[in-house]
Amino acid sequence: MKVWDLHCDTLSELRYAENDGRELRFGKNDLQIDLERLKKGDYLLQCFAVFVNLTRDRHDPLKAFMEQADIFHRLLAEHPDELMQVCTPEDIRLLPSSGKIGAMLTIEEGAVCLDDVRVLRNLYRLGVRMMTLTWNHENGLAYPNSVPDNAYSVWPSHPVTDKGLTEKGIEFVEEMERLHMILDVSHLSDGGFWDVVKYSRRPFVASHSDARAICGHCRNLTDDMIRAMAERGGLIGLNYCASFLDPSEDRDHVTSKISDMVIHARHIMDVGGEDILALGSDFDGIEGELEIAGAQDMPKLAEGFRKAGFSEALIEKIFYRNAMRFFEENL
């Protein structure tokens, strides 16, 4: 079963290793994603997020982006027979017959643009095709749904409803839509989500979020959000993070189980329809007890969906067809 994954943090892990002087090769490593694991998982495309943590890189987020973008382009140069950069609808149409794994460059933290649309346009020229306006920190564009000190064990974690997009954030939404850079609302506050609904005109994505009705974490989407995205033709990537999947009140011992992924998937599709759901693993940004522990385990997830009664056609839609269609229509 082919896989199209909307989000991973592998580039930032490779950057941390490189800056620390540790050798960490993309071909094979101890992360959740490497080239060998992508092949075992039968990946069609991986979205590689440039993740910038403003706690560490607030002094120069653009430099942090550039270092990771350099790693991304070096990976493409080092593996020309195995990786293919995807930037356009034509690239997507060519990908299945190429024999290669697609690689799309994305951003997780809009602060890398330094609140300047000229920077945004240059990042687009470097190949960026999707961006979250925030991570877990307030920036010049918007306010996030963060939790104290990023402590995901805090329960319940309350959404931010009274703060959303800034005027600069609204300007960015308009420019991203003009460029056909996909707007990603994962991490955005509830107020920011509804601002996006108000000010955007094109379909948008929540690249790695689950269903708040099943697990009440503020990083997850409410049913009203899911419906609003479905009405706009949006896409939601199912996140494998235990904190977003497991509704247990014992937040110190949450686990990421296929059975909970099935429950979230059913709920999201019950509310938003079969065309809205994709995969957004958050690999190399999540840890703990994971039943799907890396890209190599994706056949286990497909089998879990089969055992839950999902048809082969529906599993294909979730695994890659919905994302393939969405990006071909919207890039």
| Rounded Cα gap, residues 236 and 224, in angstroms | 14
What confidence tens digit (pLDDT) does each residue in 212-266 have? Answer: 999 999 999 999 999 999 999 999 999 999 999 999 988 889 999 999 999 999 9
| Rounded Cα gap, residues 129 and 183, in angstroms | 9
Confidence of residue 151 (pLDDT cuts 50, 70, 90): low
Q: State the pLDDT at residue 83.
A: 98
Sequence-distant contacts of 312-320: CB under 8 A, at least 24 apart: 314/274, 315/1, 316/1, 316/2, 317/274, 317/275, 317/277, 318/238, 318/265, 318/277, 318/278, 318/279, 319/1, 319/2, 319/3, 319/4, 319/279, 320/1, 320/2, 320/3, 320/4, 320/44, 320/45, 320/278
State the CATH number of the domain containing residue 307.
3.20.20.140
| Rounded Cα gap, residues 205 and 230, in angstroms | 10
Confidence of residue 158 (pLDDT cuts 50, 70, 90): confident
Domain with 90, as residue range(s), is 3-330
The total number of structural domains that make up the chain: 1
What confidence tens digit (pLDDT) does each residue in 1-36 have? Answer: 999 999 999 999 999 999 999 989 999 999 999 999
Q: State the pLDDT at residue 146.
A: 81
Average pLDDT value for the chain: 96
Match 């082919």 to its residue by tokens. Answer: 2
Q: State the pLDDT at residue 252.
A: 86
| Rounded Cα gap, residues 217 and 317, in angstroms | 26
What confidence tens digit (pLDDT) does each residue in 258-303 have? Answer: 999 999 999 999 999 999 999 999 999 999 899 999 999 999 999 9
Q: State the pLDDT at residue 157.
A: 75
Q: State the pLDDT at residue 249.
A: 87
